[in-house]
Structure 1
Amino acid sequence: MQRLESDVAEIIYGDQHVSMAQRQLVEVFGAGNVPGTLYLGYPILLNAQGNVKVDALYVSPFHGVWAFDLEHGNNDPGKQEEFEEIESSTERLYNALHSKLLEDDGLVKRSKLQVPVNVITLSVDQSFDDEYVRFLTIDQVNSALQQGVEIPRAYYERLCSVIERTATIRPKKQRAAVSKTGSRGAIIKEIEKKIANLDAFQKKAAIEIPSGVQRIRGLAGSGKTIVLALKAAFLHTKNPDWQIVITFQTRTLYQQFRRLVRQFCFEFSKSEPDWSKLLVMHAWGGATTPGLYTSFAEAASLKKMTFSEASSKYGQNGAFRGACSELLQASKAGGEIRPIYDVILIDEAQDFPAEFFELVFLYTKDPKRIVYAYDELQNLSDFDMLPAESLFGVRPDGTPNVELRNEPGRARSDIVLPICYRNSPWNLTAAHGLGFGTAREQAPNEPSNLIQLFDGSELWTDIGYSIVQGPLTAGSHVRLRRDEASTPAFFSELLSPEESLRFIQFDTLGDEVEWVANQIASNVNEDELELDDILVVIPDPYTSRSIGGKLIKSLGARGIGGHLVGVTSSLDEVFTSNSVAITSIYRAKGNEAPFVYVLGAESCSQGFGLARKRNMLFTAMTRSRAWVRVTGTGPSMANLIAEFNRIRQSNFELNFIYPTQEDLKKIRLLHRDRPQDEIDGLRQDQAAVERILLLLKSGQISASSLSPEIQAVFRNIQ
């Protein structure tokens, strides 16, 4: 087997408090000549008596599997009773790990486990080594590891998926009906066969939890939801008395989180999670379902607002912020606050206001174990994603309650997931380019063609882009492309950019709907895809019902069922096996499908509040695991296609001038979300300007009748 890039082991901190013995191991594995992964306090194994704690576990393709017992280092192997304790602990660890690995058929051949398991008891000052009990000092560990047996690549990848508990999330679909080589069904079957191992970044994010707040930033499709579900299951199994909450904004994530958490808990403990201790709940809640916000209010015996109450007072877009703000003020005014949760994990954090995060901080027990995950470009709300220091409130002296920093030898507080497993590199780059406006034509009064941009330039490389041309400083001509290391190889092996991503313009909405219906029929009848392999997203929430209704009718004429998620089907589920899912952008979030159609994309091309519109387009496009078709009508769609073509013609690189901080402020001001009454006023003004322009062009009025300032403006327009 080819050597790994580094001969230093990757350290994963599954324990929040690292013991002296664990620190000694970290030093040994950090010194080199031991490639692989060292897990501290992970995994949790099982035997007939219950859970088996693993103090440390080393997994390497070159040295095999080694479990460490760090609790019996002071025992004297020369004393029979103390030796029996060491032997019993060795046997318990060996049997639990051996039994777990035996569960996976891919690690077994002729009824024999193909991965040797070793156990070392770390001794303080003595050593004893026979064919079964290895009682070694820290200085003897490295040489013992070198005697380990190399594991063939196929077994090693399978081994990692079992250790990381991701073997459980292999695809449920058998796709037995797939018979054509090279069909879309065959291609997606091949993609799904890839073993779902966690990468180095995901392992840290899923297993490590610091004594405090942890931020996880990740691209669409980087595994944030799986990471949070695995972390919740691990913490629940390890600390069954803790009150743990997973919360989110999109209701359709409820079933997905319940399913994943149940699978992961079964992997750890062979039992159903205690749902009274591990809670999966919407951030707000509903009339009949509890939510995190309502649980805070009830715990403090304070008034809670319904959505209708908050909407009438603060407007629909400001309802949650207003409700959280009132509860926050009442909580602080009420004196001492009694925290109720041990851990809170937040998905889709970009959609929540700062007041919500401060409530979470107040109602989480010390040491404030709060994990929040987000992708800034999937922000469909009015809220900017603030730095951690600005989210969780301040102390009486004005200093932030939370400051994130990664420290050596500790669980990471700030993790970025750069590898995208869902989206092809072409789709992801195009979605980023359109989301930021990197290929957009600049209007005369704009400081840049950009619509928005990350606050920190370093985030580009953090999320898996390489700098082709730079530097990423104000005024520089920048070229970025997806780094090969951040892109799974199966995309280029199984897909092409031409087939993976297409933009199509139609003359009428009727033509667009008919074309999409025909394509879906072809997907099902010829491409060997199933109905729940297809997702239709309509970005504009105001037209999703009408367009969706037309598509359902057109599909029905072809003998294919379709449903509007949350309208003609359940609010909590997106996909069904006998119907194509059609949804607005808000219910599409957090979901994915092999084939995605984005209808009515012209609504995202231009207009007021353009940053949010482009975020809608980005979110819609990045639901796809393989193929995307973006469709629309009219001149606005033509503009969007022109932007896409510039990105495609540049070989899917992002090509733009990096703005100054002053220009970035102006860009955000121009493309910000605006209140509806302001938009209505601007549209009236726009209609007035268009009328004057029409009168000028038709000769019904003279330019001389206008003020000099307006004449100058219209001269530029003409």
Structure 2
Amino acid sequence: MSKSKSGDATSPIALDFYVIERMDKRFRGDSQWEVGKISRQLTQQDWAVAYYNYPFRPARNEFDNSPDIVLLHADIGLVVITCRGYGIDEIGRVTNEDWEINDEYDRPVPEVQEQLAHVQSQLTGVADLMNFPQHGALIGVVALPEITREEWDNSNYPDLNVEILFEEDLKNGPFKEALLDAAGNVSIPDQMFKKARKRMNQGDLLSAERDPIREEQLSHTRSSQYRAAARGFELHEQDKVQEQIGLHIPPGPQQIRGVAGSGKTTIMAKKAAVMHYKREDWKIAFTFNTRSLYQTIGKTITEFYRDFSNGEDPGPNLEILHAWGKNPDFTAENEQARGLYREIAMEMNVKPYRITHESLGFPSLNSHCADLINSNKDIPELYDAILIDEAQDFGPAFYRMCYEALREPKRLIWAYDEAQTLNKLSAPSPKLIFGEDDAKNRSVDLSGFYEGPVRKSFVMRQSYRTPRDILMAAHALGMGLYRDEGVVHTLTDKTDWDSIGYTVQDGCSFAETGSEIRISRNRELSPHPLQSRVDPGELLTYSFHDDLSDEAQTIAENVIRDIVDEDLDPTQIMVVCVGPKDYADSSIGPARNVRAKRIVNAINTHADQKLNNDSLARIATEGSRDEFWKEGHVTVAGTDRAKGNEAASVYVAGAEQIAFSNWEEAHSESGLTWRENYVQVRNEAFVALTRSEGWCHICGIGDISSPFLKEIVKVDDVISQENPVFVFDAPSPKEMTGEITIDETVPKYEVHQGDLTEYFD
């Protein structure tokens, strides 16, 4: 790899220096941080990445430390550095085995050798990287920033089996030259370096396979195109922001805001695995709202942890807990009874309330958490870290309960997308959750950085899972941008649109009600590979039907076609039914449960005829509620069960239901305004569409005169253009009681290197 290419800032590899955690280590003092700053300078100038307290360490050995610094450099190779802060006067005897330090013993040489061997084994364990040592050097370094080379030489210490870098070497220019000299003449091919970079951040664990599918292997089936997207075209590649979030261990609360498909659940799972691996004595809880995510979250955390730990499973101190839990007397044998609310209540000797599925989670769970907070008993500090996925689904009392259940420094970490909430409007901002003191100072301030530096708040704008056409359609339909009666809820600020990946065109202003607004989605923020392989609008289709039987038959025929003609596996197909679960008023059409059963029956009837299989489809609530997928089956679910799961081919049934805004009133007095109630309905449409990793077909009963079906046609006309642009009238702020709330502490853009300069001076 040429030196000129090393400095190419437009290269597809994220250039950065990742501080996993700032921590005190024996014999280091300030030396590790000083050497870390020098290593970071290489990542700013060259094609390189460096990790501070890298989360790999050999299992079951005497060295309890993660590598101080791991550097992967295109012109050098793999470098593992251990740092020592003592001076020459503190050192007695020195050998390859141990050094005598002020009547103590230190073993820096075997430590760095073992760490290098471990990281090397992780790197070369992938077939494409087995030959990495033939192209890049493998260097173990002991860095001694408080000792000069002259002082060392005058002490007549023996030659050692690692590189030693001294005070004069640990400056920007000499540091790189010293490593280049140690590496010799190396040449790492571009593709090998990219794969090594990906292996270092566990990016290959996110892809279906590590080996890419070749272009000549592609056919015209959906299965072939989907496999190509998931494998060779990096559907699940981590970007710079994702890697920062997944690796950092914050010394306090942290919030993560991301659009649908940005990888929030996966990155939170990685973060939990990193924390548990590095701090096995910590008690950590990972909690969430959608019970069917147990399957996905448990699998993902285990994959990451096994990769860190040479195949070991996570230990008991990492708990995956649903937000509320169930009474064991009402829990099936194959279901998880424990939940975070329940565990905390039991520890307080308070009988936990039974929170029913029909209550939709948020209102009753929030009130019961508030009861715990307002009781005359203190909430016990049970955990060292709590990670909340689907955080938009929880109310302030749930957060406060979690916060009080944490030991200092209160590592409460939550990830959310306010567009995916099924029960309220506002984002879970620190101000809303924790409030302010009498002087208007926030009780929890998440602006800026912790020492490290570790950002307190992140925004993830890139959507990898859902193709651009479908994501744009989901936003337009979810906000009602093309609704005849006007927008339901939307962003009313250019920077807020930018924070979710859209550009408001020049000349457009939300300040003037009724003025024309034109927005487009940046292509680079929707890098889904299928988008470039099909015609505009091809990934999103729709059909309208005379009755439920016709809709169910159409879905069944398409599902069988997906399996027989498109070669998709049944577990790559999902049907999402929108609408209320059940109600007495049949004038608004079939309830979700009725619709789901009819669709399952239709699919199984067709499958019996075509595939000799009369049980191909199943409703997600059959069996354990903690599982969503079942091998060999197509899953049919409501949005509350489907949320958090995804499939290559998604069918959204019951689209005509989105025109109604009184679902909640069918069950209980919700106390919501008309617009607030309607936003919940619209968010169901958004969640349903964004379950798609490839194709989405929307079905509904009615014709073009049906209000929501008319919107579908308008939106489809826009996204079928080569460069789609949404055009709508700026709404009146007074009418936007349902305006999406953006927390001002969340950064509007990704982290730029300039933001961090002060921390490395």
Q: Shorter-normalised TM-score: what interval? A: 0.7 to 0.9
Structure 2 match to 1:388: 430
CA distance in 2, matches of 1:165, 1:304: 40
Structure 1 match to 2:647: 593
Answer whether contact 1:14 1:41 (CA < 8 A) is retained.
Answer: yes
Instruction: Map 1:451-490; keep pairs closer than 5 Å.
Output: 451-454=488-491, 457-470=494-507, 473-475=510-512, 477-488=516-527, 490=529
Residues 1:119 and 2:164 are matched in the alignment: no
**Per-residue displacement from partner, 1:252-291 (whole Å, max 9, x unpaired)?**
1112111111111111113544542100010000122111
CA distance in 1, matches of 2:221, 2:720: 27
Structure 1 match to 2:726: 654
* SS of match in other structure, 1:222: coil
**Per-residue displacement from partner, 1:83-115 (whole Å, max 9, x unpaired)?**
654432332232122222221112014x95654
The residue type equivalent to 1:450 in the other structure is: V
CA distance in 2, matches of 1:144, 1:296: 55
* SS of match in other structure, 2:711: helix
Structure 2 match to 1:325: 370
Answer whether contact 2:482 2:711 (CA < 8 A) is retained.
Answer: no
Answer whether contact 2:518 2:728 (CA < 8 A) is retained.
Answer: yes
CA distance in 2, matches of 1:473, 1:150: 54
Go from structure 1 to structure 2 and tell me whether the alpha carbon gap of 1:396 and 1:474 turns closer, same or farther (over 3 Å shift).
closer
Larger CA deviation: 569-578 vs 507-516:
569-578
Structure 2 match to 1:494: 533
Residues 1:107 and 2:132 are matched in the alignment: no
Residues 1:349 and 2:420 are matched in the alignment: no
**Per-residue displacement from partner, 1:426-460 (whole Å, max 9, x unpaired)?**
1111111111122222x3xxxxx221124764232
User: Which of 609, 617, 624 is matched with 1:570 structurally?
Assistant: 624
Residues 1:556 and 2:586 are matched in the alignment: no
How far is 1:301 from its partner?
Answer: 2.0
The residue type equivalent to 2:658 in the other structure is: C
User: Which of 632, 636, 650 is matched with 2:700 structurally?
Assistant: 632
CA distance in 1, matches of 2:212, 2:566: 12
Answer whether contact 1:44 1:268 (CA < 8 A) is retained.
Answer: yes
Structure 2 match to 1:65: 78
Residues 1:144 and 2:174 are matched in the alignment: no
Instruction: Map 1:225-374; keep pairs closer than 5 Å.
Output: 225-288=265-328, 289-308=337-356, 318-330=363-375, 333-334=376-377, 336-374=378-416
Answer whether contact 1:433 1:647 (CA < 8 A) is retained.
Answer: no
Answer whether contact 1:244 1:278 (CA < 8 A) is retained.
Answer: yes
Answer whether contact 1:184 1:528 (CA < 8 A) is retained.
Answer: yes
CA distance in 2, matches of 1:37, 1:456: 36
CA distance in 1, matches of 2:497, 2:631: 38
Larger CA deviation: 97-106 vs 287-296:
97-106
How far is 1:154 from its partner?
Answer: 2.1
Structure 2 match to 1:187: 225
Answer whether contact 1:346 1:373 (CA < 8 A) is retained.
Answer: yes
**Per-residue displacement from partner, 1:541-562 (whole Å, max 9, x unpaired)?**
4222211111122112222534
* SS of match in other structure, 1:235: helix
The residue type equivalent to 1:346 in the other structure is: I
How far is 1:237 from its partner?
Answer: 1.0
**CA RMSD, aligned part only?**
3.2
The residue type equivalent to 2:373 in the other structure is: L
Go from structure 1 to structure 2 and tell me whether the alpha carbon gap of 1:317 and 1:200 turns closer, same or farther (over 3 Å shift).
closer
Instruction: Map 1:51-90; keep pairs closer than 5 Å.
Output: 53-71=66-84, 74=87, 81=94, 84=97, 85-90=107-112
Go from structure 1 to structure 2 and tell me whether the alpha carbon gap of 1:20 and 1:668 turns closer, same or farther (over 3 Å shift).
closer
Go from structure 1 to structure 2 and tell me whether the alpha carbon gap of 1:566 and 1:493 turns closer, same or farther (over 3 Å shift).
closer
Answer whether contact 2:474 2:690 (CA < 8 A) is retained.
Answer: yes
Answer whether contact 1:9 1:36 (CA < 8 A) is retained.
Answer: yes
* SS of match in other structure, 1:577: coil
Larger CA deviation: 530-539 vs 463-472:
463-472
Structure 2 match to 1:438: 481
CA distance in 1, matches of 2:503, 2:35: 34
The residue type equivalent to 2:17 in the other structure is: I
How far is 1:621 from its partner?
Answer: 0.4
TM-score between the two structures when normalised by the length of structure 1: 0.84
Go from structure 1 to structure 2 and tell me whether the alpha carbon gap of 1:580 and 1:214 turns closer, same or farther (over 3 Å shift).
same
The residue type equivalent to 1:419 in the other structure is: Q
User: Which of 422, 443, 456 is matched with 1:401 structurally?
Assistant: 443
Go from structure 1 to structure 2 and tell me whether the alpha carbon gap of 1:157 and 1:180 turns closer, same or farther (over 3 Å shift).
closer
Answer whether contact 2:545 2:551 (CA < 8 A) is retained.
Answer: yes
CA distance in 2, matches of 1:455, 1:297: 41
The residue type equivalent to 1:525 in the other structure is: V
* SS of match in other structure, 1:281: strand
* SS of match in other structure, 1:339: coil
Larger CA deviation: 414-423 vs 159-168:
159-168
CA distance in 2, matches of 1:379, 1:551: 26
User: Which of 460, 464, 487 is matched with 1:421 structurally?
Assistant: 464
Structure 1 match to 2:9: 5
Answer whether contact 1:548 1:564 (CA < 8 A) is retained.
Answer: no
Go from structure 1 to structure 2 and tell me whether the alpha carbon gap of 1:516 and 1:183 turns closer, same or farther (over 3 Å shift).
same
User: Which of 558, 561, 565 is matched with 1:526 structurally?
Assistant: 565
Go from structure 1 to structure 2 and tell me whether the alpha carbon gap of 1:113 and 1:465 turns closer, same or farther (over 3 Å shift).
farther
User: Which of 192, 197, 202 is matched with 1:160 structurally?
Assistant: 197
Residues 1:49 and 2:61 are matched in the alignment: yes
* SS of match in other structure, 1:540: coil
Go from structure 1 to structure 2 and tell me whether the alpha carbon gap of 1:355 and 1:117 turns closer, same or farther (over 3 Å shift).
same
The number of residues matched between the two structures is 655
How far is 1:606 from its partner?
Answer: 4.5
**Per-residue displacement from partner, 1:91-142 (whole Å, max 9, x unpaired)?**
2232122222221112014x95654322332222324798842323321323
User: Which of 467, 487, 506 is matched with 2:545 structurally?
Assistant: 506
CA distance in 1, matches of 2:48, 2:360: 53
CA distance in 2, matches of 1:629, 1:253: 24
Answer whether contact 2:109 2:161 (CA < 8 A) is retained.
Answer: no
Answer whether contact 1:533 1:595 (CA < 8 A) is retained.
Answer: yes
Structure 2 match to 1:700: none
How far is 1:513 from its partner?
Answer: 1.1
Ranges in structure 2 where 5+ consecutive residues have no aligned partner: 98-106, 153-158, 329-336, 582-590, 663-676, 742-761
How far is 1:472 from its partner?
Answer: 5.7
The residue type equivalent to 2:117 in the other structure is: N
Answer whether contact 2:427 2:740 (CA < 8 A) is retained.
Answer: no
The residue type equivalent to 1:415 in the other structure is: F
Larger CA deviation: 386-395 vs 36-45:
386-395
CA distance in 2, matches of 1:368, 1:430: 39
How far is 1:315 from its partner?
Answer: 9.1
Go from structure 1 to structure 2 and tell me whether the alpha carbon gap of 1:73 and 1:201 turns closer, same or farther (over 3 Å shift).
farther
* SS of match in other structure, 1:97: helix
Answer whether contact 1:175 1:189 (CA < 8 A) is retained.
Answer: no
Go from structure 1 to structure 2 and tell me whether the alpha carbon gap of 1:134 and 1:491 turns closer, same or farther (over 3 Å shift).
farther
Answer whether contact 1:350 1:375 (CA < 8 A) is retained.
Answer: yes
User: Which of 583, 592, 606 is matched with 1:544 structurally?
Assistant: 592
CA distance in 2, matches of 1:484, 1:389: 33
Go from structure 1 to structure 2 and tell me whether the alpha carbon gap of 1:485 and 1:73 turns closer, same or farther (over 3 Å shift).
farther
TM-score between the two structures when normalised by the length of structure 2: 0.79
* SS of match in other structure, 1:517: helix
* SS of match in other structure, 2:434: coil
The residue type equivalent to 2:225 in the other structure is: I
Larger CA deviation: 57-66 vs 468-477:
468-477
Instruction: Map 1:192-211; keep pairs closer than 5 Å.
Output: 192-194=230-232, 195=234, 196-211=236-251
CA distance in 2, matches of 1:527, 1:622: 21
Structure 2 match to 1:681: none
CA distance in 2, matches of 1:305, 1:455: 40
